[in-house]
């Protein structure tokens, strides 16, 4: 699948999804605080937070790819790797499947 560089529109879309995720968690907390007892509240919040983060990581995995800064190889990763890897806005620390080196890979978007 061909990839492209990340645009300003992509950043706005990602920010919107992150904001939506935070909003769902805050609304869930506001609804659960008066209803759930303290232990129940933590369980429900853990479910909402983990579910929301999983959906966000799944969206991110389905829409992004990476370019190795050492060899230039472009590749995709799994949802687990996406969720567990360190990321800064334009790079993610990954092991390249081509050259095997760990480095800061550049984020790319999958073409629509």
For residue range 50-78, list pLDDT tens digits in order.
Answer: 888 898 889 889 999 999 999 999 999 99
pLDDT string in tens for the chain (112-residue length): 688 888 899 889 889 988 988 898 888 878 777 776 666 777 777 887 888 889 888 988 999 999 999 999 999 999 999 988 998 888 999 999 999 999 999 999 998 6
Report CA torsion sign: 25, 28, 30, 33: negative
Give CA–CA dist 76/98, Å, rounded. 12
Looking at residue 67, its pLDDT comes to: 95
Residue 25 near residue 69 (C-beta atoms within 8 A): no
Residue 92 near residue 85 (C-beta atoms within 8 A): yes
For 59, the domain range is 3-110
Residue 81 near residue 98 (C-beta atoms within 8 A): no
Number of domains in the chain: 1
Give CA–CA dist 15/56, Å, rounded. 11
């Amino acid at each position: 699948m061909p990839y492209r560089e990340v645009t300003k529109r992509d950043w706005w879309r990602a920010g919107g999804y992150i904001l939506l995720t935070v909003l769902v968690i805050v609304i869930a907390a506001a609804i659960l605080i008066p209803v759930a007892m303290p232990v129940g509240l933590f369980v429900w919040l853990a479910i909402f937070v983990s579910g929301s983060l999983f959906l966000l990581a799944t969206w991110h995995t389905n829409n992004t790819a990476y370019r190795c800064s050492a060899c230039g190889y472009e590749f995709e990763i799994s949802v687990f790797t996406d969720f567990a890897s360190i990321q800064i806005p334009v790079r993610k620390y990954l092991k390249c499947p081509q050259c095997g080196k760990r480095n800061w890979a550049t984020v790319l978007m999958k073409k629509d």
